[in-house]
Amino acid sequence: MIVKVCGITNAEDAAAAIAGGATAIGFNFYRPSPRYIAPEWAAQIVTPPGVRRVGVFVNESRAVVEHIVMLASLDVAQLHGDEAISEYPAGTVVWKAARVSAGFDFAAYRNVRAEALLLDGPAGELYGGVGKAFDWYMAASAPCRIIVAGGLDASNVAAAVALAHPWGVDACSRIESTPGKKDHKKMNEFLQAAREALHL
């Protein structure tokens, strides 16, 4: 089971997330994002064994993703762009991200060849999350392992888990004080509620 805190930009937030029970932390390598972190800085944020280091990428070339995976010691490449399966990085676990809106077709992801499908809320033409939830009940019909993201915090993560039956959950913007800086109280409340909902 995965409980992920995404948008980590500094060691203090990473340490607090891990102390609160996060099993994965996410680094955003999409330059237009207000949560962007340089791979060199992410590499300096130390995590203990057992906590997955996840890199968020949007339409980066396979070579660039593979380079950053090595540089930042990542365990997972979370792909938010329009990458074809042939463009997935070699030798790296992939989580494929998809934005869920009305009429979303899970059949397109039946052979996704990723460890998990990360389901995020609708974001229009924007890439990455914008803190909006989707209809979690839709996720229960997914043909693969899923991680629910988009608009999660302590107030609703239990409902998301109850409706979607996910392998994991992922929070970012609703547990922040400002973009890229976590509110440790909100983050800890989310982590506690998520772990209880997932029976961790």
Q: How far apart are CA 22 and CA 115, in angstroms?
A: 19
Give catalytic status of residue 172 as yes or no: no
Kind and range of the H or E element at 119? strand 116-120
Give catalytic status of residue 120 as yes or no: yes
Coil, strand or helix: which one is 162? helix
State residue 8's pLDDT score: 98
The two three-digit tokens of residue 9, written as one number: 């930009």
State residue 107's pLDDT score: 84
Backbone φ and ψ for 25, nearest 5 degrees, come out as -130, 145
Beta bridge partners of 56: 28, 78
Name the pairing type of β-strands 181-182 and 176-178: antiparallel
Which residue among the candidates 120, 153, 170, 172 is catalytic per the annotation?
120
Q: How far apart are CA 152 and CA 134, in angstroms?
A: 10
Backbone φ and ψ for 24, nearest 5 degrees, come out as -155, 145
| pTM recorded for the entire structure | 0.93
The two three-digit tokens of residue 30, written as one number: 């999409």
CATH code of the domain containing 106: 3.20.20.70
Which residue among the candidates 6, 13, 170, 172 is catalytic per the annotation?
6
Closest CA to 22 of 1, 43, 44, 45: 1
Cα within 13 Å of Cα(69), Cβ side: 20
Number of domains into which the chain is organized: 1
Query: H helices of the chain, where?
Result: 11-19, 39-43, 62-71, 157-164, 184-197
Beta bridge partners of 25: 5, 53
In tens digits, the chain (200 residues) has pLDDT values of 999 999 999 999 999 999 999 999 999 999 999 999 999 999 999 999 999 999 999 999 999 999 999 999 999 999 998 888 889 999 999 999 998 887 888 888 888 889 999 999 865 444 545 567 888 988 888 888 999 999 999 999 999 999 999 999 999 999 999 999 999 999 999 999 999 999 98
Coil, strand or helix: which one is 49? coil
- What is the residue range of 117's domain? 2-197
State residue 151's pLDDT score: 92
